[in-house]
Structure 1
C-alpha cells in the first residue's frame, strides 16, 4: 500500500515521462513540505511529531545534494530521501543522551552588553545542574568590547586545551559571520576552539603558527549554544572554518562540537523586552529546564530538540485541532518562525553510511557535521 501511495504521488509530481521524471529540490521549505514530503512520509515509521522536527533538516540535507538527487529517477529520489530521514532520526537517537547542563560540566557565557540580560540568566541554570559558570558581559566603565571579547575567547581556548567538558552560551545579537554584540567573527572563534594563539585568527598563515599537536582535535565534549539572529548560519560558518583550519594545519579532527542554534538558516531571532532582553529560545530553555518542577537530573540534547523545539514550534504557527487532538499546524506569521537547529558531529562511520545512502563515491568529502533538526 505504501509503495502505491508513493507511486501515485510521484506520478502527480512528474506527469510526463523521460527527463522530466525527476524530482527537483525546491529551494523554499513550504514547497518542499507540499510537494516532496508526501513522497517521503508513507515510507517512514516515524511519529508525526518527529518528522515535523526533522523535516527542515531533511530539506537542507537534500539541498546540499540537490544535483545528485536530481540525477536519479523520481522513485529512487523518494526512496533516498526516506533513507536520509531515517539516517537523521538515528543520529538524533544516538546524540540524545549527550549532556548540555550536568554535574562536572563548565559553562562559559557571553551576554549582550547593551540590553537587560543579567548574568543569572545563564548562571542560575548552570548552578541548578551543578555546573561551574564563568559569564562575560561588558558592564563596567573600565571594560571595553574588545577586552571582553578577548577574555571570552581566552576562556574557550583554556577549556579546550584542558579538555574540560564545557557548554558555551552566547545570547545577544548576531550576523551570519559574527557574534555582532562583540564583533567576534567566526574565524576568531574557530581559532580559539582549535587552540591556536590569538594572532592566528587575525590573518597569520598556517606556516606562521606554532605546529599543531600530534593528537587529533576532539571537540565532542564542547556544546555551543547561540541564541541570536542568523545563529544557524553563523554555526555552519564556524564548523566549516574549524574543519578548514585543521585541514590547512595538517591536524586530524576527531569531532566537531555540538552546536545548538536558536534560529534556523536565514532567520532573525526575537526577544521579550519587557524589563529584560531575553531571546525566545533561551526563554523557553529557562522555562522548561529551570522554572518548571520537577527538574530533570540533567539537561541533555534530547531535552533541547524534543521539548524546547516543540514549545518553539508555536511561534508563527497556530495548531489545527480535531476535537482535542492537534492534527497539524497552520502558518500564520512566517517572519516569527525560528525553528531551532541542533548540529551534531559525524564520525567516519556515519559519513560512510551517508555516502552509501546517497550512492556517492567512497572518496567524496562530506562535512563533519549534521543538522538533526
Structure 2
C-alpha cells in the first residue's frame, strides 16, 4: 500500500512540474542593443566617410546627423574638421536656393529625395493636385496600353477620399492623410520592398476599388470627373487597417523627417518591421536614418528572452527529481514482495 502511495505522489509531482515547465517556457522579444552593435561593427572612418559624402552631395542635414551619431555613440570624431564645410552650405542664399528648387520639383512631379522636395510633393497631395495628378497618370497608362501601377493608383484614390474626410473632420484625419501621402511618395520613389508593397496593396484596395475606378473612367477626359469617380470608389468603412499603417508612418515622420521617413521605409517588409522602425525612430529621432544606413535590418532585429527564467529552471529541476522519484517508486512497486 505504501509503495502505491509513493508512486502516485511521485507521478503527481512529475505531472505538476512538467506543467510548470510548459507554463514558464515563454519567450518575449527584446530589441537588439544598438549601442553595442554600432561600436562593435562601425569604425570612426566609416562615419567620417559618410560626413564627407554628405557634404559633397550638398546635404548639410545628413552631415550634421552623422556628427550627432558620432557623439551619441561615443566616437572620438574631430567635428571642427567638418563644421566650416557644413556651414558653407547653410548660408541663407544656399538654403533658399536648395529648398526652392527641391520644393518646386516635388510639388510638380511628386519626386522627393530631400526635405523640401518631399514637402512639396505632400503639399500637392493635400490640395488634391498630387493625388489627381497620379490618378490621371495611371489612367493615361491604361489608355495607352501601358502597365498600371496598382499600388500608386490605390493610394492616390485613398488620398482623394482622405482629403475629403480631412476637410469634413476639421483635420482630425490629417495624420492619416500625411502618412498615406508619404507611402505614395515612397511607392513613386521605389523605396518600398515588394513584401511591403503587397501588404499595402491589400490594405489600400480594400479602401479604394481602383479596378472599378479605372473601369468607370474609361474614355473620360475631364480631370474633375476623374476625381469624382475616385470619391465614389472610396470605401471609408475599410479605413482601419490602412489608418494604422499610415499613423505609424506619420509617427516615424514626426520623430525624424519626411525625407528620412522615405529612406527608413525601405527597411520594412512587414507590419512587424514597421512597428519596430517606429519604436527605433521614437528612441533615436533624426539619427535613425544613420543607424539604419550602417546596421541595416539588424537594427530592428530582436532577441528572444525567457520571461520567467528562474521559475523555468526550478520547474525543470523539479521535473527531473520527480521523474527519478517516479522511476524509483515504480521499480519498487513492481518488485515482488519478500516473504
Q: TM-score range by the shorter chain?
A: under 0.3
TM-score by length of 1: 0.23
Higher helix share: 2
Higher RCO (C-alpha under 8 Å, 6+ residues apart): 2
Name the larger-Rg structure: 2
TM-score, length of structure 2 as denominator length: 0.25
Structure number with the higher strand fraction is 1
